[in-house]
Structure 1
Amino acid sequence: MKRTSALLAAPALALGALALAAAPAQAHDADTTVYQTQLKALNGSSASGSVWVSVHGTEATVTENVTGLPASFNGAAYPHVQHIHIGAMGMCPDASADTNGDGVVSVTEGAPHYGKIAQTLTTSGDTSPATATDLKLAPGGATIDYKRTFTLSAETVSALKAGTASIVVHGLDPATLSPAAKAAKSDIVPSLPLAATSPALCGELSVSQMGAMPNGAPETGVTPAARTTTTDATPGILASAGGVLVAGAAAVGLNRRRAARKAQD
């Protein structure tokens, strides 16, 4: 009886190890929602990109890959302020939103579609609307590979769940604008030109059908940042647990063969 109990214990312990190894990943996945969007060009911009927002409670990890933005502004890297917008239709405007006819959909002209600023995608520090036009904290340059984890407001979480949140990336090449728009001042920061704050890209966030950020490169051709440690570790954990299970089964088979030989002897 003792030998039989020992034989049965090995696979039972292995199955227990498998269940314990898998449990943390399953719990994490169940509590995390990934929102995604393919950014669309606005105002004649030649840029494109993708954004993923992985939300766990009120904590979000935003991963953004963008290419084709204006590279420089006044001799320095072009600061592209960008935000999560909420509180309106959750839509990106088209050219018909240009009410003054200057050929540019400005921030205020686009606001009825995508709403107010809820979170600012800064490179460090504050992510509230207070840093909405802080050029020193904005990602910059023609290509942006952005990844940052920060706390969302309750209002932002609600908008994401309702499907009314959008991402807007600002900053146009002045050379592509009409003479009137090129000479105009920003409608939200008069000390800046209109090009600096007008939308270049916009995307409507919705729940990703993939359920997680992808391993491969998005359509922009820019390789996204690596997935979280929890996600990447899962296959290894399961493989280790599977190895324990196989080893347990092998031990059972070996012991049975030894018992059979002794019975024959």
Structure 2
Amino acid sequence: MRKLLIPAAVAALVMPFGVAVASADTGHHPSPKQDQRNTFTYALLLPVANNRVQGIGTATVVLHGHDAKITIHVRGLLDHAPHAMHIHVKGSGECPTTDDSRLHNGHLATSTTDGLRAYGAIGTSLTTTGDTSPNSALAIDRFPSAGTYTYSRTIQITDDVARQVRHDNAVVVVHGIDYNKNGKYDTVLGASELNPMLPQEATAPALCGPLH
């Protein structure tokens, strides 16, 4: 599957972070002043309002400085389809509600940008390999492609994202919905506002949970 990077239309999601976040593979090293406390955070991942999702999941992030061991368990999403996952930060530290939904191609649903007020911009892309910066937000060939899966990876995150996790202002979001229950991503909700080459179903938030 072709790697798709973020177009200009999604700049609002990633601009607060500027440069790419180094992954565990890049040799990035913590700064001397960084917080070295061990911090355990947990999120119950529940269906996003009005997106007709019946799945559920959990996420844990264990932090020591920049090192983050991330474990995510998901079940009940669309099978044989990529599910992008991110840590979002600097919103209100919450998940979208029905008040955040709006009409997409005539259907009431919640898109990724509809939820920005609640969960904020992308801080880290939870890819399976390689780069974990916001630049990999739509690298759909490097996310899990199953309806039920376990993700486990230790990566390095920025000071900024680590700070938000430690201060309860970080939210895990899993994307990809089957709004009309036909077993595939299609254009029932129109094209994604993040990348018009993708259907809205492919990028809409499916599961969401604040880290505490």
Q: What TM-score do the two structures reach when normalised by structure 2?
A: 0.76
Question: C-alpha displacement at 1:100, in angstroms?
Answer: 3.3
* Residue of structure 2 aligned with 1:118, choices 110, 118, 123: 123
* Residue of structure 1 aligned with 2:132, choices 100, 124, 127: 127
Seen in structure 2, the aligned counterparts of structure 1 residues 89 and 65 have a Cα distance that, compared at 3 Å, is: same
**Given that residues 87 and 124 in structure 2 are in contact (C-alpha distance below 8 angstroms), is that contact kept between their aligned partners in structure 1?**
yes
Tell me the distance in 1 between the aligned counterparts of 2:99 and 2:118.
11
CA RMSD of aligned residues (A): 1.8
Equivalent in the alignment of 1:35: 41
**Given that residues 52 and 179 in structure 2 are in contact (C-alpha distance below 8 angstroms), is that contact kept between their aligned partners in structure 1?**
no
Equivalent in the alignment of 1:109: 114
Question: C-alpha displacement at 1:181, in angstroms?
Answer: 6.6
Equivalent in the alignment of 1:87: 90
Q: Which has the higher strand share?
A: 2
1:201 aligns with 2:201: no
Cα deviation digits, residues 100-129 of structure 1 (max 9, x gap): 363110011001110000000000000000
1:51 aligns with 2:59: yes
Q: What is the SS of the residue equivalent to 1:190? A: coil
Tell me the distance in 1 between the aligned counterparts of 2:90 and 2:189.
31
**Given that residues 103 and 181 in structure 1 are in contact (C-alpha distance below 8 angstroms), is that contact kept between their aligned partners in structure 2?**
no
Bigger RCO (CA 8 Å, 6+ sep): 2
Question: C-alpha displacement at 1:95, in angstroms?
Answer: 1.6
Matches within 5 A, 1:208-247: none
Cα deviation digits, residues 67-125 of structure 1 (max 9, x gap): 00100xxxxx2000010000110100112101336311001100111000000000000
Tell me the distance in 2 between the aligned counterparts of 1:120 and 1:183.
24
Identity percentage over the alignment? Answer: 34
Tell me the distance in 2 between the aligned counterparts of 1:99 and 1:195.
14
Question: C-alpha displacement at 1:139, in angstroms?
Answer: 1.1
Tell me the distance in 2 between the aligned counterparts of 1:103 and 1:153.
35
Q: Which has the higher helix share?
A: 1
> What residue ranges of structure 1 are gaps of 5+ in the alignment?
1-29, 72-76, 207-265
**Given that residues 60 and 151 in structure 1 are in contact (C-alpha distance below 8 angstroms), is that contact kept between their aligned partners in structure 2?**
yes
Tell me the distance in 2 between the aligned counterparts of 1:199 and 1:70.
12
Q: How many equivalent residue pairs? A: 170
1:138 aligns with 2:143: yes
1:155 aligns with 2:160: yes
